[in-house]
Structure 1
Amino acid sequence: MVASLAAGITPSRPVSESPVIALPSSPHKGECLRILHVFRAPVGGLFRHVLDLVRIQAASGHQVGIVCDANTGGERAARALAELAPHLALGCVRLPMQRNPHPSDLSVLLGVRERVRTTGATILHGHGAKGGVFARLCPVPGASPIRAYTPHGGSYNYRPGSALHRVYMSIERLLARATDVFLFESEFVATRHRTYAGGTVRLGRIVHNGIAESEFEPVGTVAAAFDLIYVGELREAKGLPFLFRALSRLRKEGRPLSLLMVGSGPDTESLTALADELGIRDAIAFEPPQPIRPVLGRGRVMVIPSLAESLPYVVLEAAAACQPMVATNVGGIPEIFGAFSGNLVPPRDVYALSTAIARILDEPEDVRDGRAKALSDSIRARFSMNRMGADVLSGYAAALQNRPSDRAVAITGTARA
């Protein structure tokens, strides 16, 4: 089983479940790639995505390494990286990284360059806004590795239309020139890149996040379950004040509903204060990050009130496990729901959110569970982890094939880590 990292949760899939995927047909088929994944914070869905890719790529015969932040993730990240160590032929290096632009970024760029030099990396895959900067701007003398980039939302979702968002998109437009292949995790983010950053994309593909077959086992619901559950970060973009106000509205209508909040984040204190202000503090239980599947079994309905998302793993995992959900129509969530996206609610709308929650709780159990099972079956057909791994490797192969001969890199031999 793969446990969610959406709230900094440690993965727990056995190594034996890692799929084996061959490099797609290309001039380099069957040869060993040396892949460095570069990202900032080892938390959230981005971290889970990297962990899954590392296992897939290592099982497929490639040599893989990681460069990430030394200051975030805590014990959970340390445990996850320790468990991953047998798959990291190129090792794991953690460097202090800042979330926002900072003078120390130069030392990180030099650190990434040193890892490229010592490992002989042929693929430098940046994840998230900061990882994308380091992977694409890293100066490498001589033959340069392929520069791949997966945005994971990040700067694309930061207050579109604001002055800072325009700055971020100008940077993305410039960095696109140094990108051999974009591996967008959703059509939503790819569209945002075209709309706000523009410029030339040398090579771009949609590679949806994927989940393992074991995650499709229904979790069921325990006795004395909470009415509602939320799993994820406690921060502004997740729309949690709207969930609290919807809960308050429903309780004032005579519904004594309870809510389990699992996660952590910068807005924990302000959310607790809001719960007190609304008079619903006694209806809410706050718990720290933990594996998602047991949490799903502790609630009747999961609520995702997000204001912005890319392609959230927590939604994929809950849908796969046949968890009834109420979610907002933002980001890549409609791509996950597909034919069922008509059930999504608009963001920032307390009335719509509370109405949807009441409707799903009032439904006959067989109707609610039947719809959840149908969505799970749809997810199984469209969001396979095997497909995700194969599509990423295919993207690398296409970038290698498209690279001008004067920028070619050798992809055989033994890494020098």
Structure 2
Amino acid sequence: MTNEKSLRIVHCFRAPVGGIFRHVRDLIDAQVAAGHKVGVICDASTGGAFEEALLDEMRGKLELGLERIAMQRQIGPGDAIAAFRTYKIIARMAPDVLHGHGAKGGTYARLFGSMLRRFTGTKVARFYSPHGGSLHFDPATMQGRVIFRVERLLERMTDRIIFVSAYEQGVYSKKIGVPRCGHALIYNGLKDSEFEPVPLDGDAADFLFIGEIRELKGPDIFVSALAQASAASGHTLKAVMIGDGNDRAAVVEQAQRDGLGPHIRFLMPMKAREAFRLAKVVVIPSLAEALPYIVLEALAAGRPVIASRVGGIPEILGETSRALVEPNAEALAKTMTRAISDLPAFKVLLPDIHALREKFGVANMAARLEAEYFSALATQD
């Protein structure tokens, strides 16, 4: 990133977990290295010990501060209080760029950025990255129609929408309409150090699920598929499930009910490259995604991947990849059985590591986003 001018950049998002949190941490590292002053506003009630440790690592880098307030996932009575507090914090941070991530963060960034411009005359570039978020809703439902109408109205308060995959961009255009504000496609990126192979532990399991344990990520599909793959292969396959979430207890109970209790290790969140040591194949059985980091991270670490044919995942693996499956237990089990029976042959089907590095590097991601920041600010001169 080039330091034409030191910007004051504030990232606003709800939950400090998962891909959005990873994305923001990468941006912060690159933006601070380029000489920009950065701040963060996020939810105070989400995340556990692992996420708290990551937030503590960030604090020393954030010259504009790290502020946490209660942000509900759904709109509710507490939003008015949270919104008022958020506006006051943003005004104090005095950003040049206010970048909202996800539905809640994107709404706050655009509303409060517009209020700052109107009431203080401050030049603030208002950015929004959906990261899936509201795009997962069904336009055939009343809730979906209301949400997409709000998204359309918020375009009037938006300087740039940053999409992380062509799929996400296409869904936005289909459900909401072609953006009537500035927009760009900028893929997520990994650091050079992440394109190094991770060795397996000697007692590595067969399969790894890593992520938030909630319905959208398909943990129940993973457990059902593991049972079916074990039956098809003629011996019990082993797995590790790493993560936390509202459905964790239900998934543990499902594993016990299916007779897999002794064969699945349930662990709390940890860094991805530490997790990759624990199993031979990484499985991402999500029902919906934008462009998940975990697919990139696993491939960069040299770990074979099986993933749902959803969202931007085909943009990583390739549209015709045999590592892509429909998000159901039967299809997943068949591919898991085939992969574990001949791992070297399955790995050959995966993308070339050098091509991945060129397309999904963090330096390219950060430089392109910085250029969009400066371009948006220049239009206000």
Q: Shorter-chain TM-score: which interval?
A: over 0.9
Select which of 31, 45, 65 maps to 1:57: 31
Match for residue 384 of structure 1? 361
Give the superposition deviation at 1:324.
0.8
For residues 215-258 of structure 1, the C-alpha deviation after alignment (integer angstroms, 9 at most, x for no partner) is 11111222221111111111111122222222222222323211
Q: Distance in 1 between matches of 2:185 and 2:178?
A: 18
Q: Distance in 1 between matches of 2:218 and 2:55?
A: 30
Number of residue pairs matched? 375
Give the superposition deviation at 1:303.
1.1
For residues 61-101 of structure 1, the C-alpha deviation after alignment (integer angstroms, 9 at most, x for no partner) is 11111111111223333322222223211111111211111
Q: Distance in 1 between matches of 2:53 and 2:147?
A: 33
Q: Distance in 1 between matches of 2:209 and 2:179?
A: 39
Select which of 111, 116, 140 maps to 1:161: 140
Q: Distance in 1 between matches of 2:237 and 2:53?
A: 36
Q: Distance in 2 between matches of 1:82 and 1:287?
A: 22
SS at 1:124 equivalent: strand
2:215 alignment partner AA: E
Match for residue 396 of structure 1? 373
Give the superposition deviation at 1:385.
0.4
Match for residue 80 of structure 1? 54
**Are 1:131 and 2:105 matched, yes or no?**
yes
Q: Distance in 1 between matches of 2:355 and 2:320?
A: 9
Match for residue 252 of structure 1? 231
Query: 1:320–1:375: 8 Å Cα contact kept in structure 2?
Result: no
Select which of 129, 141, 144 maps to 1:150: 129
Give the superposition deviation at 1:332.
1.0
Select which of 313, 334, 345 maps to 1:367: 345
Query: 1:258–1:283: 8 Å Cα contact kept in structure 2?
Result: yes
2:248 alignment partner AA: T
SS at 1:188 equivalent: helix
2:150 alignment partner AA: I
Q: Distance in 1 between matches of 2:178 and 2:191?
A: 35
Give the superposition deviation at 1:104.
2.7
Match for residue 122 of structure 1? 96
For residues 299-340 of structure 1, the C-alpha deviation after alignment (integer angstroms, 9 at most, x for no partner) is 111111111111111111001111011111001111111366
Match for residue 16 of structure 1? none
Residues 116, 252 of structure 1: alpha-carbon distance in 2 compared, 3 angstrom cutoff? closer
SS at 2:199 equivalent: coil
SS at 1:92 equivalent: strand
**Are 1:195 and 2:174 matched, yes or no?**
yes
SS at 2:235 equivalent: coil
Q: Distance in 2 between matches of 1:117 and 1:281?
A: 51
Query: 1:108–1:134: 8 Å Cα contact kept in structure 2?
Result: no
SS at 2:39 equivalent: strand
2:63 alignment partner AA: A
2:135 alignment partner AA: Y
SS at 1:176 equivalent: helix
Select which of 54, 60, 74 maps to 1:100: 74
2:263 alignment partner AA: A
| Identity rate, percent | 38
Select which of 298, 305, 318 maps to 1:338: 318
**Are 1:36 and 2:10 matched, yes or no?**
yes
SS at 2:302 equivalent: coil
Moved beyond 6 Å, runs of 4+ = none
Q: Distance in 1 between matches of 2:344 and 2:73?
A: 46
Give the superposition deviation at 1:164.
2.0
Farther off after superposition, 51-60 or 241-250: 241-250
Gaps of 5+ in 1: 1-20, 24-29, 406-417
Alpha-carbon RMSD across the aligned residues, in angstroms, is 1.8
Residues 371, 42 of structure 1: alpha-carbon distance in 2 compared, 3 angstrom cutoff? same
Query: 2:50–2:269: 8 Å Cα contact kept in structure 1?
Result: no
Give the superposition deviation at 1:122.
1.2
Select which of 256, 263, 272 maps to 2:243: 263
SS at 1:183 equivalent: strand
SS at 1:52 equivalent: helix
Match for residue 18 of structure 1? none
Match for residue 151 of structure 2? 172
SS at 1:319 equivalent: helix
SS at 1:311 equivalent: coil
Match for residue 355 of structure 1? 334
Gaps of 5+ in 2: none
Give the superposition deviation at 1:112.
3.0
